[in-house]
């Protein structure tokens, strides 16, 4: 019985390609970018003393590459979370670039 289960699990793992991992990576990058965006939005509303301080610069430096990577991974991914990750990463990237050009 356990041998049949092991054979089934190995066949499922063998069918998973790198493109499905890319789709899940896109969703992860979009989620990380969203968390960073929410954290900076809360910081700007409640904790910021002067405009455009070092924490906003750190946000731009970290969120831009993460969301760009999410867009790239969403473009090459093939699994179900691809579209959610792609849309989420693209919206975060637009927010980051809009904030960077507003400076």
pLDDT of residue 3: 60
**What's the distance, Cα to Cα, between the start and end of the chain in Å?**
64
DSSP assignment letter at 53: -
Confidence of residue 85 (pLDDT cuts 50, 70, 90): very high
Q: Is the residue at 3 inside a domain?
A: no
Q: Is the residue at 81 inside a domain?
A: yes
Range of the domain at 28: 17-102
Q: Is the residue at 64 inside a domain?
A: yes
Q: Is the residue at 1 inside a domain?
A: no
Q: Is the residue at 6 inside a domain?
A: no
State pTM to two decimals: 0.78
Question: What are the E-state strand segments in 8-67?
Answer: none
Average pLDDT of span 47-62: 86
Judged against a pLDDT cut of 90, whether residue 27 lies above it is answered with: yes
Beta carbons of 37 and 63 less than 8 angstroms apart: yes
């Amino acid at each position: 019985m356990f041998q049949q289960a092991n054979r089934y699990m190995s066949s499922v793992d063998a069918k998973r390609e790198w493109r499905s991992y890319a789709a899940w990576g896109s969703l992860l990058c979009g989620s990380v970018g969203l968390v960073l965006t929410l954290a900076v939005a809360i910081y700007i509303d409640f904790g910021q003393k002067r405009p455009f301080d070092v924490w906003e610069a750190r946000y731009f430096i970290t969120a831009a590459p993460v969301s760009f990577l999410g867009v790239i991974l969403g473009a090459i991914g093939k699994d179900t979370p691809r579209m959610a990750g792609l849309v989420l990463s693209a919206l975060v990237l637009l927010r980051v670039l809009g904030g960077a050009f507003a400076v």
